[in-house]
Structure 1
Amino acid sequence: MSKPTHTTSYYAASANDTRLRPSLQGEASADVCVIGAGFTGLSTALHLAERGYKVIMLEGSRIGFGASGRNGGQIVHSYSRDIDFIERNYGQEVGRQMGKMAFEGGEIIKSLVARYEINCDLKPGGIFAACNAKQFRELEDKKALWEAHGHKALELLSASDTRHYIGTERYVGALLDNSGGHFHPLNLALGEAAAFESLGGVIYEDAKVINIVQGSRAKVMTAQGSVTADFVVVAGNAYMQGLLPELEQKAMPCGTQVIATAPLSEAQQRQLLPHDHCVEDCNYLLDYFRLSGDGRLIYGGGVTYGARDPGRIESLIVPKMLTTFPQLKGVKVDYAWTGNFLLTLMRLPQFGRINGNIYYAQGYSGHGLTCTHLAGRVLSDAIAGQAERFDVFAGLPQYPFPGGRAFRIPFTAMGAWYYSLRDKLGI
């Protein structure tokens, strides 16, 4: 039987650690069993190991196989729905509590990189770019909102100022977040895994979970073994089909596409992104891009609802890249890949408990890099008996998609088409 491999991404081709951990064989026991070695699971496992818990992690494929090892690699704060939406819909107190946590995930990433000396090309600075006047007004509102919740590292940029940071005429202005940044996400995941193992944690790869037997001590079963644990953390996100149907109906896997060019000359790099910041635009179906550690342009965008892999990723993404950087016409694309994230109806993450000792966190809706790291700390706090912050998230309503599995993809795609049209019209 063939061993699992990563997708054919630039990240997989430049991974620091390519060894395959063993698969689970036989019975094992732990304080906590974490299902899924993406950022939610890794952050949870690492925070628990730092507290002295015995933790076993089960990964159905490879460490960082899903969205955690395939994404744009950008530190973007807050949630897919921002704090003002939360305040309007769930009350001022919930908004205040979530606002206090909205900027923590990025700091967790930076502290882990420093503490465990993780080599992942971490670079400072992130930019939100406005494609029209309406989006720039929204960035002015975002700056005021985030500053009201204590985040002060922001600068508004005029159209001419923006061109000093991004070599394009496309944007009418931008918001610079000096506390943002970007990195090689798979190498961050692998570095966090190594840090966890250095504290006595155990990771099994190629260990797909097929059943969870609930009880005062739950039993997590794979095809060739099992782990009995006081607590279970389910962190499979978009790659967990069939394990817990009650979670599956609350969210929908979606695909996003990414390319990496051949290495660019230093002159080209300085022309495109002279300060080496990462960028995402303000469209509903947004584009995002940055330079890699070896000088490639990594450019992503688009959404495939239902997580179907497109036949030709380049044909979807290269026109977007050339709209932003027409000077790259003819540049070679060395890598193209897709990855799945998990969308929720309200575009807010879903945290909860099942039977008192099975915890889950999922559905970051395309905004997961920082929130997954926050989730790991919050989950570890809850397991250690400090559940106040976990309960803020768990108290948010979790709605199934209307129409069930058969209709959630077309309904959501129709909504995306509507918002994409609004982006194009600037309304």
Structure 2
Amino acid sequence: MSLSLATEHVPSWYAASATPGQVRPALEGEVECDVCVVGAGFTGLSSALHLAEQGVRVVVLEAARVGFGASGRNGGQIVNGYSRDMDMIEARYGEQTARALGDMAFEGNRIIRERVATYGIDCDLRDGNLFAACNAKQLQELREQKMLWERYGHERLELLEGDAYRREVITDRYTGGLVDHAGGHLHPLNLVLGEAVAIESLGGTIFEQSPLERLEHGEPARLHTPRGVVKARRVVMAGNAYLKGVLPEIEGRAMPCGTQIIATEPLGEALAAELIPGGMAVEDCNYLLDYFRLTADHRLIYGGGVNYGGQDPDDIEAVIRPRMEKTFPRLASVKVEHAWSGNFLLTLNRLPQFGVFNGNIYYAQGYSGHGVTCSHLAGRLIAEVMSGRDERFDAFAGLPHLPFPGGRLLRVPLSAIGAWYYQARDRLGV
């Protein structure tokens, strides 16, 4: 029997170029474990891998395929920090919280690199990010960002004033940039597939095509799928934007948002080098930002914008191609071979949500656009709190989170109005 398209990987360049992997069976019957993880994306697999390394019996339930959601569809950029700057965190939540979060702000990046090295994951990992300023105001903010990050111990930064940014990207759009030499980019689907294999090598079990239909609280908890049940002492809810209806207590405090990405035909090594000579990943500093990078076969991956509520546009190329051509006019005649979208989870304060329900249901979600790195940190912190080390997990769990204004009905239009305001400020440079 063929699988539904809704439970297969979307037809992205990542899916087309992924390392061939196994198709895992659906759960049938009843199994028992120490920890059941719901969701085989970065949060879930990072949690499962950290736990499996400690000898914990882990079962992972995935509604579709490993890496089906944002973990297998994103821009592939390893961006340090959070979606809020450390000075805002300090001003709003205090120096102690800011110091705790600041000490962990660059750890997710290190965890990714450790995983790639330890388990030999082939995911085209490359170094370097450029944050590009579109106006003088944004360039000044990058100067301040550099000083702020250096206060928290991040030293591998280089400010490119004026046209110096053209060393890294050949376009007329920018007024300067900040290079993070410790950042980078990779093939995210290959990373998540490699992490799944690593978990299984340590005795963990992953079931695909096994959506969670009902969570029965208790100790052990019972997790019901269409054809089976998992009994687990502890549970990790790691569905992020694709977790619906199972734990309503956390759904109202975040909102799914869609982002769109295209991949060109291969440009050839010479043209690719004329666009991004050093091969860095690039993102601009606008509120609704553009982000792009080159692939191993010299394609340009270009993404941008946010669609509040997570609905896909009818024509992704029509949305993103004009943004790409504004940055690189010489690509006007280049063919786009892949176009896809995916949802990430946005929180009102743009900081991730960690917590525990009923003493044994753990969750981490809402990375607000910084999920590649922060999800890997989340997995480590979940493993720590389960082993009795709760200080670092609690630094996030103690952050207050409010629901979006307007509730489920009005949160999308109200967020869109707010985004329009900030877009207008970006255009005016104020």
TM-score, normalised relative to structure 1: 0.99
Task: Find the aligned partners of 1:17 and 1:229 in 2 and give their Cα distance.
Answer: 31
Task: Find the aligned partners of 1:65 and 1:343 in 2 and give their Cα distance.
Answer: 18
In structure 2, which of residues 20, 41, 54 is the aligned counterpart of residue 51 of structure 1? 54
Task: Find the aligned partners of 1:255 and 1:317 in 2 and give their Cα distance.
Answer: 13
Matched, 1:350 2:389: no
In structure 2, which of residues 20, 35, 58 is the aligned counterpart of residue 17 of structure 1? 20
Count the aligned residue pairs: 427
TM-score, normalised relative to structure 2: 0.98
Task: Find the aligned partners of 1:84 and 1:250 in 2 and give their Cα distance.
Answer: 23
Counting only pairs closer than 5 Å after superposition, residues 272-421 of structure 1 correspond to structure 2 as 272-421=275-424
What SS does the corresponding residue of 1:157 show, helix, strand or coil?
A: strand
Task: Find the aligned partners of 1:83 and 1:200 in 2 and give their Cα distance.
Answer: 39
Task: Find the aligned partners of 1:293 and 1:315 in 2 and give their Cα distance.
Answer: 25
What SS does the corresponding residue of 1:32 show, helix, strand or coil?
A: strand
What SS does the corresponding residue of 2:319 show, helix, strand or coil?
A: helix
Deviating above 3 A after TM superposition, structure 1's stretches of 4 or more consecutive aligned residues are none
Counting only pairs closer than 5 Å after superposition, residues 31-110 of structure 1 correspond to structure 2 as 31-110=34-113
Matched, 1:168 2:174: no
Matched, 1:116 2:119: yes
- How much does 1:159 deviate? 2.4
Matched, 1:125 2:144: no
Where in structure 2 are there 5+ consecutive unaligned residues?
none
Task: Find the aligned partners of 2:229 and 2:148 in 1 and give their Cα distance.
Answer: 47
Deviation readout 1:345-390 (Å, 9 max, x if unpaired): 1111000000010000000111111000000000110111111100
- How much does 1:2 deviate? 4.1
Deviation readout 1:240-289 (Å, 9 max, x if unpaired): 11111111111110000000000011111110011000000000000000
CA contact (8 A) 1:17 1:190 kept: no
Paired residue for 2:265? 262
CA contact (8 A) 2:21 2:193 kept: no
- How much does 1:19 deviate? 2.7
User: What fraction of aligned residue pairs are identical, expressed as a percent?
Assistant: 61
Letter in 1 for 2:176: G
Matched, 1:221 2:230: no
Where in structure 1 are there 5+ consecutive unaligned residues?
none
What SS does the corresponding residue of 2:213 show, helix, strand or coil?
A: strand
Matched, 1:177 2:184: no
Task: Find the aligned partners of 2:296 and 2:389 in 1 and give their Cα distance.
Answer: 39
Task: Find the aligned partners of 1:174 and 1:422 in 2 and give their Cα distance.
Answer: 19
Task: Find the aligned partners of 1:82 and 1:209 in 2 and give their Cα distance.
Answer: 35
What SS does the corresponding residue of 2:26 show, helix, strand or coil?
A: coil
Letter in 2 for 1:312: D
- How much does 1:17 deviate? 2.7
Deviation readout 1:170-214 (Å, 9 max, x if unpaired): 110000000010000000000000111111110000000011111
